[in-house]
Amino acid sequence: MTATTFDPYARVVAPGRFLFALNPLAKIAAPLPAIVLLVFARDLATPLAFLALAYAVLLAGARMTGRLVLVLLIAIPAAALLVGLGMSLWADAARVDTSVTILQIGGWTLYGGAVATGMATGVRLAAIVALALIAGISTNGPDLVRSLVQQLRVPYRIGYTALAAFRFVPRFGYELDVIRQAHRVRGAHGGRGPFAAIARWWGYIVPLLAGAIRHAERVALAMDARAFGAHPDRTERHLVPWRARDTVFVLVFWAVSAAILWYFFPWAVPAAS
């Protein structure tokens, strides 16, 4: 009888979703030039085109969960609209097109140029967020660290130390849940209101710190037992290779981004009338 072990940090590829099979560095390198150049774009058409490109890649290559659908269909459009309206109200009327009047209250006037400028800012931020989601929703921390160590030659002492720190976050969540359940069983810091909530959270601090110290000691002992840092390199258990499909994805994304920028060219100087 053989025992089967499950590695929670092993790479899981969703069938039919190509983003999960790509190298994490490819998913970062592909949209990075577009993200940087969008910071300097001031028109509305260019970020709209990149927003459509990001949505197309996410819909084709990512696993559609309820949370992702809410982010793509509600959160990002709502945030873009809110930022756009806010920037429209703050826009300087002396620096925008005043040929169209949208709203006038007393001596204050909202011009169409201010609305166009504000919405361009909101859509630009939405496009940047959507492009960042290409890597954000299809990459886990361990694979990103492994790719940094294996492809970019980041010293493993730095990479895997950061990975150990990254794994502290879910551990803290588990410890906090255990502490809260223990306090609830003992009836400690009961009651309602802000003072009771402060008392409850204050009671979590000491046991949470104690658990964090114990966990840090166990991690340090485990790393010492494996001679962590004793040699300039280490044997990798999980390989995250750079394949031909990663190169193709990056080059195709760069080509599409260049075509969008060439077609709209948001830095063109308007012709003098």
Other C-beta atoms within 10 Å of 212: how many? 14
Residue 15 pLDDT? 45
Taking the C-alpha atoms of residue 80 and residue 86, their distance in angstroms, rounded to an integer, is: 10
Q: How many residues does the chain have?
A: 273
Element (H, E) at 34: helix 32-38
Predicted structure pTM score:
0.77
- On whether the CB atoms of residues 237 and 150 are closer than 8 A, the answer is no
In the numeric block, which tokens belong to residue 209? 């710190």
Residue 109 pLDDT? 75
Please give the single-letter amino acid code of residue 126.
Answer: A
Average pLDDT across each block of 10 residues of the chain; the chain has 273 residues. List them in order. 42 63 94 94 91 94 89 93 88 74 77 85 94 91 87 85 79 82 71 68 79 83 79 78 94 96 76 42
Q: What are the pLDDT digits (tens) for 55-97?
A: 999 999 988 888 889 999 999 999 999 999 888 888 777 777 7
177-180 long-range CB contacts below 8 Å, 24 or more apart? 179/204, 179/207, 179/208, 179/211, 180/204
